[in-house]
Chains A and B, each alone.
Chain A
């Protein structure tokens, strides 16, 4: 998958969790939980949505790597290629 495809997937999954948020205003380095007012249940739904779309099982210990748009993109790129094992 290209970074663009990964970003589009992240945006689609975020859109399901926070339909009222304009994602174009989200800075790539901003903490999504606080910027989008995402609680722990929403965040797990986000991880589940990524899992369903990309088939990547994200261990709980890696959740902090998904905190920002750019962090999540980099992490999912690396995991998606199968190049990196989960860090836990």
Chain B
């Protein structure tokens, strides 16, 4: 069971996408795991052949638990978890960790949904999650119900009111929305309390002139079809990523009493969930992507977070987090760092401000950009260099 962030302690297997004997490749989504932050698609980090599944759907196991074994194609069995957890504790027997299914007073099995178009995977998932397919709106080809639709139904509405699945064979349904909210609240509490307890934060802020950026963006977007339009946030992410390359002390982790700079710039993007809490999944290699690609990734990421299908690599490997609370109307963000990261960059609302240029005052759009950084890893001087770089880069939006 991979640890998908500092605040995750355990996860529940929802569905295996592979069976023993299947060939798997690095990056394949092999298993769906339910965490306090929703259902995550877990990718595998090795090539090979799945040998044995050790934890069955429905079982909730701590991070580090061995979920399955893998062997190299045509080689003797090797053991491998779907991702490399740091120093995994001895495997916990899956059976012991699985809570026993609730025993409903009357065994009501949902009637098979007739005349409903759904993929086999969607049907299996619906059965596992106790979702009645007849009540799910399909968004696939010819309105077929997809796996995502089932996850929506289970996620959005919660499954507390759904009829229980077949009593004996099936795992218990996931916790209802209320219980999940409480669990997410606790997970955030644990991570943020650790942050405030362990990380000596320092805070810097600057107000950035956005006239070049908004002018360029308006012209650019008027020219572009709707499918290629950009939001200021995509340019902010690019500027932060390039600034992080210039000032690498902002990009990485504080582990074992020392700073470890990260190789790539994977920007965590703070996304508030409407029901409760937030997640900050990563957009990978923002420093090496074109702004159009970052924009597409951001749209896709937010869409998948809303649908409750984030990938494990996105939740576990952000190297620096950016939070943009401008949509909420706030002007300034005072960030709390997400451990083990060492910095968080905040953007507020874009506001019109009197702005003095060459002795004359004009009205310019501007944004407050703030940095919360770990004083163990860097000092204010370097933090200042970082914000100055963000400012400088945003003055040339066409180069981002």
Hey, which bits of chain A sit against chain B, CB under 8 A? Answer: 12, 15-21, 36-37, 39-42, 44-45, 47-48, 51, 57-61, 88
Contact = CB atoms under 8 A, between A and B. Distances in A.
Contact of B231 (A15, A18, A41): A41
Contact of B222 (A36, A37, A48, A60): A60
B102 to A, nearest CB: 24
Shortest beta-carbon contacts, A-B, top 8 = A39-B327, A19-B156, A19-B152, A20-B156, A41-B302, A51-B226, A60-B221, A57-B226
A43 B327 CA distance: 11
A9 B146 CA distance: 18
B274 A48 contact: no
Contacts of A12: 137, 139
A87 B199 CA distance: 52
A59 B221 CA distance: 8
A18 B226 contact: no
Given A21-B274, A45-B302, 11 more contacts: A12-B139, A15-B137, A18-B274, A19-B306, A19-B308, A20-B275, A39-B302, A42-B306, A44-B231, A45-B299, A57-B225
A18 B225 contact: no
B266 interface: no
A48 to B, nearest CB: 6
B170 interface: no
Contacts of A57: 225-226
B344 to A, nearest CB: 18
A51 B298 CA distance: 18
Contacts of A17: 303, 306
B226 A48 contact: yes
B233 A20 contact: no
Interface of B: 137, 139, 152, 155-157, 218, 221-222, 225-227, 229, 231, 233, 272, 274-275, 298-299, 302-303, 306-308, 327
B306 A37 contact: no
A58 B152 CA distance: 28
B156 A58 contact: no
B231 A40 contact: yes
Contacts of A41: 231, 233, 298-299, 302
B367 to A, nearest CB: 13
A48 B226 CA distance: 7
Contacts of B308: 19
Residue with the greatest number of chain B CB neighbours at <10 A, chosen from A16, A39, A61? A39
B229 A44 contact: yes
B15 to A, nearest CB: 19
A16 B298 CA distance: 16
B231 A16 contact: no
Contact of B274 (A15, A20, A51, A61): A20
Nearest to B298: A41
A44 B218 CA distance: 15
Contacts of B229: 44, 60
B319 to A, nearest CB: 21
B223 to A, nearest CB: 11
Contacts of B226: 47-48, 51, 57-58
Contacts of A40: 231, 233, 327
Contacts of B155: 19-20
A28 to B, nearest CB: 21
Contacts of A59: 222
A37 B302 contact: no
A47 B233 CA distance: 17
Contacts of B139: 12, 15-16
B323 to A, nearest CB: 12
A26 B294 CA distance: 32
B274 A45 contact: no
Residue with the greatest number of chain B CB neighbours at <10 A, chosen from A19, A21, A37, A48? A19
Contacts of A48: 226-227, 299
Contacts of B157: 20
26 contacts: A12-B139, A15-B152, A16-B139, A17-B303, A19-B156, A19-B306, A19-B307, A21-B274, A37-B272, A37-B274, A39-B272, A39-B327, A40-B231, A40-B327, A41-B233, A41-B298, A42-B302, A44-B231, A45-B299, A45-B303, A48-B226, A57-B225, A58-B226, A59-B222, A60-B229, A61-B222
A66 to B, nearest CB: 12
